[in-house]
Amino acid sequence: MRLRLLVCAVVFSLLALGAARADELKLKIIAFNDFHGNLQSPGKFKANAQSPGVEAGGVDFLAGYVRHLKRENPNNVVVAAGDLVGASPLVSSLFHDQDTIEAMDRLGLEFSAVGNHEFDRGKKELLRKQYGGCFKPDGTQCEDAAGDSASFKGAKFKYLAANVFDTSTGKTLFPGYGVKTYDGVKVAFIGLTLKGTATIVVPSGIKGLRFGDEADAINGIVRKLRKQGIESFVVLIHEGGAQTTKGTPDINACEGGLRGTPIEGIVHKLDDAVDLVISAHTHQAYICQVANRTGRKIVVTSADSYGRLLTDIDVTIDTKTKDVTGITARNIVVDRTNEVGIAPDAELKEIVDHYAEVAAPIANRDVGSITADISKTLNPAGESPLGDLIADAQLEATSSTGSGGAVAAFMNVGGIRMDLPFTSNAAGVKGGSVTYGELFTIHPFGNTLVTMTLTGAQIKTMLEEQFKGCALESPGDGVSAPSTDRILQVSEGFTYTWSLDGAVCNKVDSSSMKINGTRVDPSAKYRVTVNNYLSDGGDQLSVLKQGTDLLGGPLDLDALAAYFAKHRPVAPGEPHRIGIKP
Ligand SMILES: [Zn+2]
């Protein structure tokens, strides 16, 4: 019987690659995450510490790899775990990321979880990404900058949002799951974002939305669908972990077993019926096995970011029990050097080239120069040369009496997306020159500056709230305090010292807080500048919502460009504004 089955299987697999044994179904899941509008290759990628790095990514090659993998098994699905768009390079952002949505449809994406960055431009714009329509609701901006798509039709793939609730209706913003049927076997894909999304996006854009517990949302759907006879469950979740390896971890390893990371905590609570977790958010690569609530280990994957990796997952399902019986997963580099004979998608290449051409004059415009690399890497006190520069640019843009009268500026580290390299990759740009495209990549969110009045005591509170565990007010139901320190970058003239072992909400030494050498008086009033993400209470700096006499300023990007235009060349400074006591 066994032998006959085996012979059968061989013959069968020759006929249809998708089937193994008569009572088995083979399904191929092709997954990626955190694409962030990287239609063009972001550069070299190393698959492990020994790798010299290869040119990786670019949606043309990503699509080529997807097509290649799909050919291996007609029972397939392409899925993503969030942050497809948002914090995107100019080639995507300039066109409101519509070109990325179009490219995702062309490469065959079927389901994607929403990630935190899907909410960067607010709920309305995310709904437009799914359902289509003009960028401006009054119809004045229906055509994109490339002159295409008189009206944007929206994504064909389905966004999933199992834990994002409209507080007025109690319903989820998008469906929580999608189901595909293969040879009569139903497989459910459940998609969701991290519960903490509300603490890391502009609060005004997500008014009326509640981000619920991840495991509760997943388990609720599993219970419901099992009653309908579904037994195969795949989770697409925009939350993740990281390997403990220092340097470059192997993309297929799981050093440290994800212990102590947010995704481990979620998997520990999952219903035993969940078979596979495709994770994201941390821009890390791993293939792990993590215990669920019964102690059974399930596969948890993540494919780094920017379309440089794909996870190739082969799933075996028993057609009688309709349940998953085996999973093998591996991360593969989307290698553009083409040694494995995978061709890029010619049509997508043409589309991306077209958008890049429209964006090129804007992207390559010379806006300034630098004398050396300016890095966003933080020193132990939490300060970086690029953070200093950006805070200075924001102070300069808002310091005159007419523009706000600011005496200090504070910038969130999450809003600084890229280093400023002395040698740019952009074609035809010589060393030291700074392009608009580079500044755009640093500040892709379109945030504006806001100058407000705070007391010295409120500034002290703000500095305390940037440390883990000291959020004075919870911004929403079920939202926890920041899980890591988010130290603000400060402008020239503002100095202070904090203690590593200081108590929660008492880490900053008040007597060390100075503006241009003068001690900050708790009861005096100061004009300070932040961006609208922070003034809205972003990063859980809730005290900033108490600022008075608010004055709107320019875009953060315009302030930075103006700074580079005025100071030419700009040299990286030595961080010295924030002090730390061990
Ligand atoms: Zn994310």
pLDDT of residue 146: 55
Q: How far is the CA of 34 from the centre of ligand 1 (A)?
A: 7
State the pLDDT confidence band at 517, using cuts at 50, 70 and 90. very high
* Residue pLDDT, tens place only, 304-348: 999 999 999 999 999 999 999 999 999 999 999 977 789 999 999
pLDDT for residue 360 is more than 60: yes
Number of helices (H) and strands (E), helices first, in the chain? 13, 28
pLDDT of residue 138: 63
Q: How far is the CA of 185 from the centre of ligand 1 (A)?
A: 32
Distance CA 400, CA 288 (A): 54
On whether the CB atoms of residues 113 and 176 are closer than 8 A, the answer is no
Q: How far is the CA of 239 from the centre of ligand 1 (A)?
A: 7
Average pLDDT estimate for 14-21: 50
Q: How far is the CA of 173 from the centre of ligand 1 (A)?
A: 18
Tokens of 317: 């399902």
State the pLDDT confidence band at 470, using cuts at 50, 70 and 90. confident
Share of the chain above pLDDT 70, in %: 91
Q: How far is the CA of 209 from the centre of ligand 1 (A)?
A: 17
For the entire predicted model, the pTM comes to: 0.82
Who has greater pLDDT, 531 or 540?
531
Q: How far is the CA of 246 from the centre of ligand 1 (A)?
A: 22
Distance CA 64, CA 72 (A): 13
Average pLDDT estimate for 540-567: 92
Q: How far is the CA of 33 from the centre of ligand 1 (A)?
A: 9
Q: How far is the CA of 284 from the centre of ligand 1 (A)?
A: 11
Q: How far is the CA of 83 from the centre of ligand 1 (A)?
A: 6
pLDDT of residue 94: 86
Q: How far is the CA of 117 from the centre of ligand 1 (A)?
A: 6
State the pLDDT confidence band at 8, using cuts at 50, 70 and 90. very low
Q: How far is the CA of 423 from the centre of ligand 1 (A)?
A: 28
Q: How far is the CA of 194 from the centre of ligand 1 (A)?
A: 8
* Residue pLDDT, tens place only, 400-429: 998 899 999 999 999 998 899 888 644 445
Q: How far is the CA of 348 from the centre of ligand 1 (A)?
A: 25
pLDDT of residue 423: 80
Size of the chain in residues? 582
Q: How far is the CA of 416 from the centre of ligand 1 (A)?
A: 14
Cβ contacts of 530 within 8 Å, gap of 6 or more: 409, 410, 411, 412, 449, 450, 452, 544
Q: How far is the CA of 93 from the centre of ligand 1 (A)?
A: 17
Cβ contacts of 460 within 8 Å, gap of 6 or more: 508, 510, 513, 520, 522
* Residue pLDDT, tens place only, 179-193: 999 999 999 999 999
Q: How far is the CA of 133 from the centre of ligand 1 (A)?
A: 25
pLDDT of residue 311: 98
Q: How far is the CA of 118 from the centre of ligand 1 (A)?
A: 9
Distance CA 527, CA 524 (A): 10
Q: How far is the CA of 484 from the centre of ligand 1 (A)?
A: 15
State the pLDDT confidence band at 147, using cuts at 50, 70 and 90. low
Q: How far is the CA of 114 from the centre of ligand 1 (A)?
A: 9
pLDDT of residue 140: 62
On whether the CB atoms of residues 78 and 110 are closer than 8 A, the answer is yes
Q: How far is the CA of 350 from the centre of ligand 1 (A)?
A: 29
Query: Where is mean pLDDT largest: 375-389, 430-444, 465-479?
Result: 375-389
Q: How far is the CA of 238 from the centre of ligand 1 (A)?
A: 6
On whether the CB atoms of residues 99 and 358 are closer than 8 A, the answer is no
Q: Radius of gyration of the chain from Cα atoms? A: 25
Query: Where is mean pLDDT largest: 42-51, 211-220, 239-248, 480-489?
Result: 211-220
Q: How far is the CA of 42 from the centre of ligand 1 (A)?
A: 17
Q: In angstroms, how far is CA 542 from the centroid of its own chain?
A: 23
Tokens of 495: 């100095």
Sign of CA dihedral 215, 218, 222, 224: positive
Distance CA 110, CA 127 (A): 17
State the pLDDT confidence band at 540, using cuts at 50, 70 and 90. confident
Average pLDDT, the chain: 90
pLDDT of residue 145: 52
Q: How far is the CA of 116 from the centre of ligand 1 (A)?
A: 5
pLDDT of residue 370: 95
Query: Where is mean pLDDT largest: 81-85, 95-99, 149-153, 473-477?
Result: 81-85
Q: How far is the CA of 19 from the centre of ligand 1 (A)?
A: 36
Query: Where is mean pLDDT largest: 17-21, 138-142, 501-505, 575-579?
Result: 575-579
Average pLDDT estimate for 259-272: 96
Q: How far is the CA of 400 from the centre of ligand 1 (A)?
A: 37
Average pLDDT estimate for 143-168: 83
Share of the chain above pLDDT 90, in %: 75
Q: How far is the CA of 195 from the centre of ligand 1 (A)?
A: 11
State the pLDDT confidence band at 150, using cuts at 50, 70 and 90. low
Q: How far is the CA of 88 from the centre of ligand 1 (A)?
A: 12
pLDDT of residue 497: 97
CA torsion, points 506, 512, 518, 524, in degrees to nearest 10?
A: 10
Q: How far is the CA of 235 from the centre of ligand 1 (A)?
A: 16
Cβ contacts of 275 within 8 Å, gap of 6 or more: 232, 233, 234, 298, 299, 315, 323, 324, 327
* Residue pLDDT, tens place only, 289-306: 999 999 999 999 999 999
Who has greater pLDDT, 365 or 172?
172
